[in-house]
Structure 1
Amino acid sequence: MTIALEKKWIWDSWYHKEGDVWHGYFLQADKSLIDPELRHLNVTQAHAISKDLIDWEHLGTCFEPSTSTAWDDSTTWTGSVVKDDDGLYHLFYTGTCLAEKSLYQRVGHAISDDLHNWKRVGDGLCLDIIGENAQYYEDQHQVGHWHDRAMRDPWVMKNPNGKGWLMYFTARAPGIEEPNAGGAIGFATSDDLYHWELQKPVFVGGFGQLEVPQVFELKGRWYCLFCTSSSHWADAFIKARAGKPVTGNHYLVADNPEGPWSLPESEFLDGDDPCYRYAARILQTDTGPVIIGFHDQGPNGFVGEILDPVAVHVNDEGLLSTDDNNKKGQ
């Protein structure tokens, strides 16, 4: 396995390339918890570096929940890292707090000059579901309808169509009767990475949640990779696709990074049940795009290691495929 630790489970990851070095960030939790389901509320972020995405040097824990009472004193979950025009690095992450029993998610912001030691900007909070456009989101926990107030997994990138920055995140839309039809890709914009404005979601439907979004361009088309569970497929998506629901990674397509986005008329990209690879990222390498994600389920249950990268291909219709069938290694 590409990134593995003897005493810790590893799951969601994100990457930043600086020169010829890949910086990999990932969620980790101690295996002394025994039950891997407990990892979500006992989490820190860690950092490793590599030149080939296969052999990694572990640098240890780089970010963790606030040690005093705060909006992010329970968890610091999945995020992304970008570099601004002045050479400063920015980490955007998911935070929850103990006072809300970790049910309300918000987006935080930290900065670094070395890609490892991160300092929160103010108290860290940079985006919440508030303001005029909050009406387009489930801004309160819908108890009995869904398991959390979703606002997590921020993916930040430069706006390729002009100045400023774009943020995509896992969210939910309000007033949808079927829980599994309410998943959304949330959206926000910023001129300077410090002040963010919540915008309307860029996509709603298909699934109860579209986790760990990543927006990127391949061969002139835009893609939004996401992951989801077989138990979170909407009825309409099940009817429109042959075969049983699976857990894994799929994508949206668009001609513009701000949308409109749609689900492709294709098979689910990268899934199985039980799931093999989850929370994947697609990275651009010198030899072409690759997919990399964590090993979810093995013969003995949850594995918690990052898998080796696998080549990704784009056909003439713009549909994606991988070099494996998502069963390799089981």
Structure 2
Amino acid sequence: MLRLPDHWVWDSWYAQDDSGAWHAFFLRASRALLDPERRHHRATIGHAVSDDLRSWRLLPDALVAADAPAWDDLATWTGCTVRGPDARWYMFYTGVSRAERGLVQRVGLAVSDDLITWHRHGTEPLVEADPTWYELLDPTAWYEQAWRDPWVFADPDGDGWHMLLTARARTGPAEGRGVIGHATSPDLLTWTVQPPLSTPAGFGHLEVPQVAVVDGQPLLLFCTNAGAVEDRVWVVPGAGVTGHWDVASAQPFPHPHLYAPRLVPYGRDGWGVIGFVDRVDGAFVGELSDPIPVGYHPAAGLVARTPDGTPDQALLWSSSQRSAVPSS
């Protein structure tokens, strides 16, 4: 668990270095703000390291807002960290600006040789929403321009790189336009925006997307707190990690307090999820959970595992009884 006495912690992502140590990057903001709803425009990207994904040692912040005027001079938000073919580390992150009152999201890049000291790649955003397929800022439809939470991974056939994003389609009922945005790159530096990898299925947005193969099944993991959705964390099975994803077939991952979870390798050839603890008894907590061992079950989706590695039968039953997706 990672809890900071003076800062809230929320969305996180992880990278493992050559020594086997895990690096957590996470959004953080001072508890002196008093109201946790104020944290988003004060967010910086924190950094901690661990040998076991449970006990963490805090390191200096990885990235903060740029000096004004800049496209990311208000706050730096959720991203991912990957190692490039040149052995350098690439952090893709979301940025918002003061000039636009934080309403327009774009994706930028910072690069590091050691995971500790990060330098922005240029002064311009790396990837922006393309109105050919994606909704731009329209306050009559939605409260922000969604283009955030980049998740980057290598193409499994060696054909460059893919980026998944929280995005919204141009058309359809405003409360249900959430889609998985998509961009591709040959080199991690030059990106081409592509059509979305899903169609609207009743979700307002699909936040913090990630793909992984769990127990042989390619999965899309996302979360949502918008629209007429009771469950907050969802998984979608697919034919491969590059999509297309049938979000209408999403299955909930039941957890009362977890949000923005990430799948991380955990245990012997297994997986765990680490997310932030959101609200408990109505109060925002703002700390990272310990890993929860998980596996995939065809009838129930992503399920917690017991200490002996078998699916938790109570959670299997709970998951199978819950409805699939909101009506669109």
* TM-score normalised per structure 2: 0.88
Contact 2:25–2:47 (8 Å) recurs in 1 = yes
**Which has a greater percent of strand?**
1
2:274 paired with 1:278: no
TM-aligned CA deviation for residue 60 of structure 1: 2.6
Cα separation, partners in 2 of 1:214 and 1:267, compared to 1, 3 Å: closer
State how 1:245-324 maps to structure 2 within 5 Å. Answer: 245-263=229-247, 265=249, 267-272=251-256, 276-287=257-268, 288-299=270-281, 301-315=283-297, 319-323=301-305
TM-aligned CA deviation for residue 318 of structure 1: 8.1
Report the equivalent of 2:146: 150
Unaligned 5+ runs, structure 1? 234-244, 326-330
Contact 2:64–2:76 (8 Å) recurs in 1 = yes
Report the equivalent of 1:237: none
Among residues 192, 196, 205, which one is paired with 1:209 in the alignment? Answer: 205
Report the equivalent of 2:38: 38
Report the equivalent of 1:71: 71
Aligned length: 305
Cα separation, partners in 2 of 1:217 and 1:98, compared to 1, 3 Å: same
Q: What residue identity is the alignment partner of 2:262?
A: R
TM-aligned CA deviation for residue 68 of structure 1: 2.6
Report the equivalent of 1:180: 175
Query: Hey, what's the Cα distance between the residues in 1 that align with 2:38 and 2:144?
Result: 16
TM-aligned CA deviation for residue 65 of structure 1: 0.7
Q: What residue identity is the alignment partner of 1:170?
A: T
Contact 1:15–1:24 (8 Å) recurs in 2 = yes
TM-aligned CA deviation for residue 246 of structure 1: 2.3
Report the equivalent of 1:169: 165
Q: Between the two proteins, what is the percent identity of the paired residues?
A: 38
Contact 2:198–2:247 (8 Å) recurs in 1 = no
Among residues 178, 184, 203, which one is paired with 1:189 in the alignment? Answer: 184
Q: What residue identity is the alignment partner of 1:68?
A: A
Moved more, 315-324 or 76-85: 315-324
Contact 1:211–1:228 (8 Å) recurs in 2 = yes
Unaligned 5+ runs, structure 2? 306-311, 316-328
2:7 paired with 1:4: no
Once superposed, what is the RMSD of the aligned Cα atoms? 1.8
Query: Hey, what's the Cα distance between the residues in 2 that align with 1:198 and 1:318?
Result: 33
Report the equivalent of 1:240: none
Contact 1:80–1:156 (8 Å) recurs in 2 = yes
Query: Hey, what's the Cα distance between the residues in 2 that align with 1:293 and 1:316?
Result: 23
Q: Give CA deviations for 1:111-130 in whole Å, capped at 9, x if unaligned.
A: 00010211011115100123
Match of 1:270, SS? coil
Q: Which runs of 4+ in 1 moved over 4 A?
A: 264-267
Report the equivalent of 1:220: 216
TM-aligned CA deviation for residue 316 of structure 1: 5.0
TM-aligned CA deviation for residue 144 of structure 1: 2.3
Report the equivalent of 2:320: none
TM-aligned CA deviation for residue 232 of structure 1: 1.6
Report the equivalent of 2:321: none
Cα separation, partners in 2 of 1:89 and 1:266, compared to 1, 3 Å: closer
Match of 2:175, SS? helix
Contact 2:251–2:300 (8 Å) recurs in 1 = no
